[in-house]
Amino acid sequence: DTAVSQTPKYLVTQMGNDKSIKCEQNLGHDTMYWYKQDSKKFLKIMFSYNNKELIINETVPNRFSPKSPDKAHLNLHINSLELGDSAVYFCASSQLGTRPLNIQYFGAGTRLSVL
- Contacting positions for another protein (CB under 8 A): 4, 31, 33, 35, 40-45, 48, 50, 53, 55, 57, 90, 92, 94, 96, 100-109
3-state secondary structure 43-99: EEEEEEEECCEEEECCCCCCCEEEEEEECCEEEEEECCCCHHHCEEEEEEEECCCCC
Looking at the Cβ atoms of 44 and 63, the one nearer to another protein is: 44
Looking at the Cβ atoms of 92 and 112, the one nearer to another protein is: 92
Looking at the Cβ atoms of 14 and 62, the one nearer to another protein is: 62
Q: How far apart are CA 8 and CA 76, in angstroms?
A: 12
- Please answer whether residues 110 and 6 qualify as being in contact, where contact means their C-beta atoms are separated by less than 8 angstroms: yes
From the CB of 55, what's the least distance to another protein, in Å?
Answer: 5
From the CB of 79, what's the least distance to another protein, in Å?
Answer: 22
Please tell me whether the peptide bond between 61 and the residue prior to it is cis, using omega within 30 degrees of 0.
no
From the CB of 102, what's the least distance to another protein, in Å?
Answer: 3
From the CB of 65, what's the least distance to another protein, in Å?
Answer: 17
